[in-house]
Chains A and B, each alone.
Chain A
């Protein structure tokens, strides 16, 4: 039997909202340590990796490892029947379940839904836990804003790191521009900008993916960008007390 109860069901809704335009069908993996998900977009440019640890749930039980194939679109239809303040419980009964049950609980109502599961043949990529040569922490809303602004000018956005900070730049048909974000150690943790740069990087990415990734900014006030030259970038949103959502994006490489 598998059971996972989110005290804050709105959090689960935010996670689904954050990934819904990146991936269509996903395998949700559950085991004794928690729930995870790894899926790639159809063009193999972006990868979503979610980890939710059992300790972060109000209630968690998983006797046997389980793979649940879900359509994100259908999952969202069911989640629309829940309130943002509901507690949400996911549950399966059988060893090889064909449905995933949802209980939405508020002060005055309890709703039950069953979502049909699918069998998905999805390859899991072994993404190594590597050291990155530049790691930047900055406010997630600031990152969202910069991507939106620069995305107006060109479809590719450049990111350059140095000991002084991080610079975003674009060069398009209409002209070019850059935004430098200064390092600060303000007392407000959500406004802090930190750069750990062992080796500077200069990378280029398709901005439309960033604009999709930025839907995850509702999960955390800070975003962590981990980069190495000519390697996929990782954008991480820490989900407080529960785990993290990591979004990987392949760069455009200078030929």
Chain B
């Protein structure tokens, strides 16, 4: 199963 990574959350959580 795949889920779509969210860019906004990804860069915010870095």
The CA of A204 and the CA of B4, in the complex, are separated in Å by 9
B8 to chain A, nearest CB (A): 4
B 1-14 contacts with A by CB, 8 A: 1-12, 14
Q: Which of A125, A126, A127, A255 is in CB contact (< 8 Å) with B3?
A: A255
User: By the criterion CB–CB under 8 Å, are B11 and A45 in contact?
Assistant: no
A34 within 8 A of B: no
Instruction: Please name all residues of chain A whose beta carbon is closer than 8 Å to the beta carbon of B4 when the two chains form the complex.
Output: 45, 206, 250, 252-253
Chain A residues, CB < 8 A from B3:
252-253, 255
- B6 → A minimal CB distance (Å): 5
Give B residues with C-beta under 8 Å from A.
1-12, 14
- List 18 additional contacts besides A40-B7, A125-B11, A250-B6; criterion CB under 8 Å: A44-B9, A45-B4, A46-B7, A125-B7, A125-B8, A127-B11, A128-B14, A206-B4, A232-B10, A248-B7, A250-B7, A250-B10, A251-B5, A253-B2, A253-B4, A254-B1, A254-B2, A255-B2
30 A/B residue pairs, CB under 8 Å, sorted by A: A40-B7, A44-B6, A44-B9, A45-B5, A45-B6, A45-B7, A46-B7, A125-B7, A125-B8, A125-B11, A125-B12, A126-B11, A156-B2, A204-B2, A206-B4, A230-B5, A232-B7, A248-B7, A250-B4, A250-B6, A250-B7, A250-B10, A251-B5, A252-B2, A252-B3, A252-B5, A253-B2, A253-B3, A254-B2, A255-B3
